[in-house]
C-alpha cells in the first residue's frame, strides 16, 4: 500500500494531513480491505473529488461507476467490491501523483486528466478502469520519479 506520510513539523507548524487523513481512510491494510469488500459509500467519490479537484462526473465516467440515481436504487446504496476497488486504485494513483509532483496537487491532478503518450494517449485517470491500466500507470509514475522517460 502506498501511503503518503505526515511530514515532520516544528512546534509552530501544524502537521500536514495526508490524503488518507483527508479521506478518513484507515492506514491498516486489513481495515482498507474490509471497506472495499463492504463497498465504499457514495460520499467517497465526492470526497475524492473535493480533495483532488477532479469532477465527480469525470471520476464516475473514468472508473465506469454507476450514476448517483442508479446507486441509490441498490439495496445497500453502496458501490460493489469491484467498483470500490477501482475507487481505491484512483486514491493510490492520486497519492503517487501528489508525490511525483512534490505536493503540487493542482499540477498532479492536471496530469491525471491529460492524454499521455506512454499510456497510448489515454489520460492517466482513464487507465484506472482495469487492473492492467493501474499497473501500467504505477509503473509510469515509478519511471518518472526515477527520471526514465521512455
- Asked if the structure places residue 46 within a domain, the reply is yes
Domain of 91, in residue numbers: 26-145
SS (H, E, C) 23-41: CCCCCCHHHHHHHHHHCCC
- pLDDT for 114 equals 93
- What pLDDT, on a 0 to 100 scale, did the predictor assign at position 13? 60
3-state secondary structure of 116: strand
Tell me if 71 is assigned to some domain.
yes
Structural domain count, the chain: 1
Please give the Cα distance from 78 to 73 (Å, whole number): 10
Evaluate whether residue 117 is within a structural domain.
yes
Can you give the pLDDT at residue 3?
A: 53
pLDDT of residue 84: 95
What is the mean pLDDT of each successive set of 10 residues along the chain, which is 150 residues long? 51 68 90 95 93 91 92 90 94 93 91 91 90 92 83
Instruction: Report pLDDT for 95.
Output: 92
Amino acid at each position: 500500500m502506498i501511503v503518503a506520510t505526515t511530514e515532520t513539523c516544528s512546534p509552530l507548524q501544524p502537521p500536514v494531513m495526508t490524503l488518507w487523513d483527508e479521506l478518513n481512510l484507515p492506514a491498516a491494510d486489513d481495515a482498507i480491505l474490509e471497506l472495499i469488500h463492504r463497498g465504499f459509500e457514495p460520499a467517497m467519490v465526492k470526497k475524492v473529488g473535493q480533495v483532488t479537484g477532479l469532477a465527480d462526473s469525470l471520476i464516475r465516467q473514468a472508473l465506469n461507476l454507476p450514476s448517483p440515481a442508479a446507486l441509490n436504487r441498490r439495496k445497500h446504496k453502496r458501490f460493489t467490491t469491484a467498483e470500490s476497488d477501482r475507487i481505491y486504485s484512483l486514491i493510490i494513483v492520486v497519492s503517487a501523483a501528489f508525490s511525483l509532483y512534490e505536493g503540487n496537487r493542482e499540477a498532479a491532478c492536471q496530469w491525471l486528466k491529460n492524454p499521455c503518450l506512454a499510456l497510448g494517449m489515454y489520460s492517466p485517470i482513464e487507465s484506472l478502469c482495469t487492473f492492467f491500466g493501474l499497473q501500467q500507470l504505477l509503473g509510469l509514475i515509478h519511471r518518472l520519479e526515477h527520471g526514465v522517460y521512455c
